[in-house]
Amino acid sequence: MLARGKLCEVWRATVDTGAIVALKIPRRDQRRHPGAAALIRREFRVLESLSHVNVLKTLGLIDFDGMPALMTEYLDGGDLVPLLGTDPRHWATGARDIALALVYLHERDLVHRDLKARNVLYGASGEARLVDFALATVVDGKAPQGGLTPAYARLAQRQGAPPAAADDVHALAVLLYELLAGRLPFGVNPSLETLQSGPSKLIVLRDGAAPGLQTLADLVEETLNSERRSAPGNVRPFLDVLESIISDYE
């Protein structure tokens, strides 16, 4: 087993050809829950419509013990969690990869809605992939009920607003804050009041940090501070800064 959620779990599996894949199936204790099978079918339809180097690749929807199972590529490079708070050299390229994935989704009027450190996995060649599209939906579409990660969800999202690209922009800012500071800006389960007031602590960079890192920290704090209206409404400002940081390290 690789991961386990409320309705589904992901397993490392081997197919008849000997290839290793990842298999997402309903949990055994949830197989009578109609939402589990529907969630997997829905995620397959979303992934089937996408083709990007930084988005998890689906290999098909199969029958597993009478239930639908989502078969995808197996990514064995781990997730972003161990890199939180480490030197940006370790995660800048991965963060850039995820920004590219979000730009790709938003150009297609799709919102991921559950970006977080555990939903960024690395492939064998070092590129990062955005995974877990169970909550993904079209902009202004009908959002699946529940499943949000409070630490990464923006205020309007928590209050039931229609899905918007801003949901992913906020989550990306939270993730980048976490990568820079080694902690979540609002805590694990922030109240609505906490989200309204903005992060309680500023990002403190190490002496001698690359100039682009301060620009990134300012952009992150600007996005997470609800009182500032100049916060970016799309991912591209983050992408530009991350590209600059990467070039500084080359």
Going from N- to C-terminal start, the domains of the chain cover: 3-73, 81-249
Bigger pLDDT: 91 vs 210: 91
227 confidence band (pLDDT: 50, 70, 90): low
Q: What is the pLDDT of residue 36?
A: 85
Mean pLDDT on 224-234? 74
pLDDT for 93 beyond 90: yes
- What CA–CA distances, in Å, run from 146 to 39, 121, 157, 182, 207? 12, 23, 11, 27, 42
Mean pLDDT on 44-64? 96
**Whether the Cβ atoms of residue 104 and residue 52 lie closer than 8 Å to each other:** yes
Q: What is the pLDDT of residue 229?
A: 59
Bigger pLDDT: 232 vs 182: 182
- Tens digit of pLDDT for each residue in 177-191? 999 999 999 999 999
Share of the chain above pLDDT 90, in %: 71
Share of the chain above pLDDT 70, in %: 98
- What's the rounded Cα separation, in Å, for the pair 167 and 161? 10
Average pLDDT score, the chain: 91
Q: What is the pLDDT of residue 250?
A: 75
CATH class as words, domain 81-249: mainly alpha
230 confidence band (pLDDT: 50, 70, 90): low
Segment 205-212 long-range contacts (CB within 8 Å, at least 24 positions apart) = 205/180, 210/88, 210/245, 210/248, 210/249, 211/248, 212/241, 212/244, 212/245, 212/248
Residue 183 burial (CB count, 10 A): 14
3-73, superfamily in CATH? Phosphorylase Kinase; domain 1 (3.30.200.20)
